[in-house]
Amino acid sequence: MMFYAIVGEDRPDTLAQRLAARPDHVQRLKALQAEGRLLMAGPFPAIDAPDPGPAGFTGSLIVAEFPSLTAARAWADADPYVAAGVYDRVTVRPFKKVLPA
């Protein structure tokens, strides 16, 4: 197993879809966390504020362990944000955690 960085980039004006799909999205992340495979996850606010309000978000970052790039891509492709049309593009790349050690 190794880490993979999953970066989803939001389509413009999809905050409502994001909010509607969020519970299912978070549930999948909590499952990874329960399995000890989630390093970190969170959204990119569209403005320089922890709560961007109606400005929404521009995407998300997830770093988690998977057995392969193919498995990480399959997991990313099944994300509720993909099904809801929130993400315009999803990039999956191998990630090597160095620090903190």
Q: Summarize pLDDT for 9-31 with one digit per residue, the tens.
A: 999 999 999 999 999 999 999 99
pLDDT band at 101 (very low <50, low <70, confident <90, very high): confident
Q: What average pLDDT does this structure show over 68-87?
A: 98
pLDDT band at 61 (very low <50, low <70, confident <90, very high): very high
What does the DSSP assignment read for 38-94? Answer: EEEEEEEESSSSSS-GGG-EEEEEEEEEESSHHHHHHHHHT-HHHHTT-EEEEEEEE
pTM for the full model? 0.95
Has residue 88 got a pLDDT over 90? yes
